[in-house]
Structure 1
Amino acid sequence: MKITLKAARVNAGLKLIEAAEQFGINKDTLSKYERDSSNVPRSFFINIEAIYKIPVENIFFGPQSDFFRKLKTA
């Protein structure tokens, strides 16, 4: 089962600003990625496993609204 980028952050026990600092990006940028992770840059993508301690295969990449829409129809 896949989870959203935001859920991965929360499961890692990180606040938005803490995670953004670890990724080396602004908290507003991370918030944008959490809403729609379909176009995250490679530099961000390669750090996900190390920071969130979850395989990238378990993270849903795309608009967060699509993730929740798919859950409702499943």
Structure 2
Amino acid sequence: MTLRAARVNAGLKLTEAAKLFGINKDTLSKYEKDSSNVPRSFFINIEKFYKIPVENIFFGPQSDFFRKLKTA
């Protein structure tokens, strides 16, 4: 699942999740579009805030995730 899908599944709005992570909502939006370079501090809190194992989250450009779904 994408980082955005993980947030939505956790029932959090963009602004709510950004506040939990201690970042600007624009930064979180950027991470959701391309999560290939998220900082370690963010990465560590994903499971805590979204309650999803990081192994279940796709890290990389969101467009790559959807491209892989189409070819699968």
**Which range, TM-score by smaller chain?**
over 0.9
Aligned partners of 1:5 and 1:57: how far apart in 2? 11
- Residue 12 (structure 1) aligns with: 10
- Distance in 2, matches of 1:24 and 1:48, equals 12
Q: Structure 2 matches for 1:35-74, cutoff 5 A? A: 35-74=33-72
CA RMSD, 1 decimal = 0.2
Larger helix fraction of residues: 2
Q: TM-score when scaled to structure 1?
A: 0.97
Q: What are the ranges of 5 or more consecutive residues in structure 2 without an aligned counterpart? A: none
CA distance in 1, matches of 2:23, 2:49: 13
- How far 1:70 sits from its partner (Å)? 0.1
State the percentage of identical aligned residues.
89
- Deviation of residue 36 (structure 1)? 0.0
Residues 20-67 of structure 1 show CA distances to partners (whole Å, capped at 9, x for unaligned) of: 000000000000000000000000000000000000000000000000
Q: How many aligned positions are there?
A: 72
Q: Secondary structure at the match of 2:59?
A: coil
- Report the residue type matching 1:51 in the other structure: F
Q: Which runs of 4+ in 1 moved over 4 A?
A: none
